[in-house]
Structure 1
Amino acid sequence: MTRVAVTGGSGKLGRAVVKDLVEHGYEVTNIDSAAPPPGQGARWRRIDLTDYGQVVDALSATLDESPGPFNAVVHLAAIPAPGITGNAATFANNVPATYNVFAAARAAGITTVVWASSETVLGLPFDTPPPYIPVDEDYPARPESTYSLGKHLEEQMAAQFCRWNPELTMIGLRFSNVMEPEDYAAFPGFDADPSLRQWNLWGYIDARDGAQAVRKSLEVELTGVEVFVIANADTVMSRSSASLAAEVFPGVEVRKELGEHETMLGIDKARRILGYEPEHSWRDHASR
């Protein structure tokens, strides 16, 4: 059985990731400053990820009642979006915490790290239009906030960790806006004003599909650093994707014929390399 440490396992995406991994036979330790929900099925360690010593203890399996050495780390813990707290506070939490996880994993001899990057590095909010649609991993990062700048720096940091150790696998998942089924009741309201969600090209990620992407990243045979856009296969809108692109971003090149509700956050790379395939849609809940 593979032992996996999941930082932020008590959060919105983290809860889904822990549940999915446990259901697929992984032995999971949730490393989080916040308590998990009852009956999570994983060990919990209250760790301050901005304290390197605590992170080393947690990932080196030296804590009392440790399950043993970890085979992989999934790093999800962070202040999850811009604007929640001050810019400097966001940076001072997120970037050092990620460094601590990367460095402590290296010190512990863990060679598989999957972490939450962000769709924001694609240029969100798209007040400046994207270079093309669907957006993908091929153009340079365009951070427009301190939060996004931190995520961009984390991707650069991972590249250097992999240069130092060619045996490392470090996969950054550029997650879209994370949603749970109870969030879907609000989706029909977006149709009245396309501008409400143009900031991320009307994208989202069901937490359960985000968890699938994490598990696929743990199982794929890769070395080095790779980043993937992770979104659901459809948009949050009832209108066609082609009509939305034409109305809101009339001067932007559309590089493929878009399906009726096809996501404009390109997930082709994740499909091709990870075998990722979204299984959930808000439309399934809206039709009930």
Structure 2
Amino acid sequence: MRIAVTGSSGKLGRATVQRLRAEGHAVVGLDSTGTPGDGFTRVDLADYGQTLDSMLGVTARYDRLDAVVHLAAIPVNGLVPDAATFHNNIVVSFNVVHAALRAGIRSIVTASSITAMGFPFDVPPSRLPVDESTTEANNTYGLGKVAEEAMWGQLARWAPGLAITSLRFTNVVAAGEYATFARASDPDYRRDLLFSYVDARDGAAAVALALRHPEPGFEVYNVAAPETGSAIPTAELIAHHFPDVPVRPGLGEFESLVSVDKARERLGYVAVHDWRREYSADPGA
């Protein structure tokens, strides 16, 4: 396929471009920054005219798109004022998906987030592990993700065969960024993330799987490593931080508290990058 990746210059964007090209797809990067001549086109995605134009084709680059992967966003609260985070992300996301719909593109994968499930979990979850049925926002970045998912659920009804898949990524860690896992024996390490993480390469694999298995309508999947980023057994972490929260029976020794059962069963998602191996191989660790 010919696939556009917005946010192609970001951490997850770079890994996704590399993964999709390795699978034989022609990939176009759409972002505010990038490397000219490498399938990249500079686009102001906050401008609907530019966004729609890029979905229809760019002279000397491409004349059609088969699918869109939307990863572009202000990635966390704090980089700009809170309201600006929400305004930018919701406008850009609407522009990308609505323009793709208008351009006749029927396979769209978007990045959602653990922040749509209660991050930083100051109020304990109703049960553990947390699955896709939980939707709660506690900051403007997360509020944007909740609003986007609501939009996708409606827009997916507007065109026959339109498949919009939202992937709720937890904290994305790239190769060479595993030095912080030196704190893995600290019971507070990654507590606000329910101790979860996902390697950027595994996140990119989830994107590729979502493109391979488009389901007409709207679907949301959690994307995380299957085990926590902690050296402390999961049961001990729960007892320390969430003693009153019901826990699914049969939880594995280090099993993640962000459930990836749905992605594994319906997409075939299997993460292969483990923090223990990556940490030991990280020269900065």
Q: TM-score, normalised by structure 1?
A: 0.95
Equivalent residues in 2 for 1:156-235, closer than 5 Å: 156-192=150-186, 194-235=187-228
Q: Structure 1 CA distance, aligned partners of 2:212 and 2:278?
A: 30
CA shift for structure 1 position 116: 0.3
Report if the CA contact (8 A) 1:8-1:14 is conserved.
yes
Cα distance, 1:222 vs. partner? 1.1
Please give the secondary structure, in 2, of the residue aligned with 1:50: coil
Matching residue within 76, 83, 91 for 1:96: 91
Q: Deviations over 1:85-118 (max 9, x none)?
A: 1111101210000000011101110000000011
Of stretches 255-264 and 110-119 in structure 1, the one that deviates more from structure 2 is 255-264
What is the CA–CA distance in structure 1 between the aligned matches of 2:2 and 2:214, rounded to whole Å?
Answer: 17
The question of whether the paired residues in 2 share the 8 Å contact of 1:27 and 1:42 is answered with no
Letter aligned with residue 94 of structure 1: N
Whole-Å Cα distance in 2 between the matches of residues 151 and 171 of structure 1? 13
Where in structure 2 are there 5+ consecutive unaligned residues? none
Describe the shift of the 1:221–1:107 C-alpha distance in structure 2 as closer, same or farther (beyond 3 A). closer
Do the aligned residues in 2 keep the contact of 1:18 with 1:42 (CA within 8 Å)? no
Amino acid at match of 2:40: W
The alignment partner of 1:132 has SS state of coil
What letter matches 1:142 in structure 2? E
1:27 equivalent in structure 2: 26
Please tell me whether the aligned partners of residues 56 and 64 of structure 2 are also in contact (alpha carbons under 8 angstroms).
Answer: yes
C-alpha separation in 1, matches of 2:158 and 2:59: 31
1:162 alignment partner AA: A
- Per mean C-alpha deviation after superposition, the further-off stretch among 10-19 and 79-88 is 79-88
Deviation at residue 221 of structure 1 after TM alignment: 4.0
Aligned to 1:77: 72
Deviating beyond 2 angstroms after TM superposition, the runs of 4 or more aligned structure 1 residues are 285-288
Counterpart Cα distance in 2 of 1:33 and 1:221: 28
Partner of 1:30, secondary structure, is strand
Q: Which string of whole-angstrom CA distances, capped at 9 and with x for unpartnered residues, describes residues 190-239 of structure 1?
A: 423x2231111100010000000000000004110000000011111111
What secondary structure does 1:164 align onto? Answer: coil
Deviations 1:139-193 (A, max 9, x none): 3x1100011110001000001111222411000000000001211122021423x
Please name the residue that 2:138 is paired with: 144
SS of residue paired to 1:218: helix
Tell me the matched-pair count. Answer: 281
Q: What is the match of residue 47 of structure 1?
A: 43
For 1:23, the aligned partner's letter is: A
Residues 54/221 of structure 1: CA separation in 2 closer, same or farther (3 Å cut): closer
Corresponding letter in the other structure for 2:152: A
Partner residue in 2 for 1:254: 247
- Asked whether the 8 Å contact 2:32–2:42 carries over to 1, the reply is yes
Shift of 1:267: 0.1
Summarize deviations over 1:124-146 as a string: whole Å, max 9, x none. 0010001111000123x110001
Equivalent residues of 1:181, 1:282 under 8 A apart: no
Q: Distance in 1 between matches of 2:227 and 2:265?
A: 18
1:118 to 2:113 alignment: yes
2:155 and 2:38 map into 1 onto residues whose CA distance is 29
Distance 1:257 1:9 in 2: 39
SS in 1 for 2:176: helix
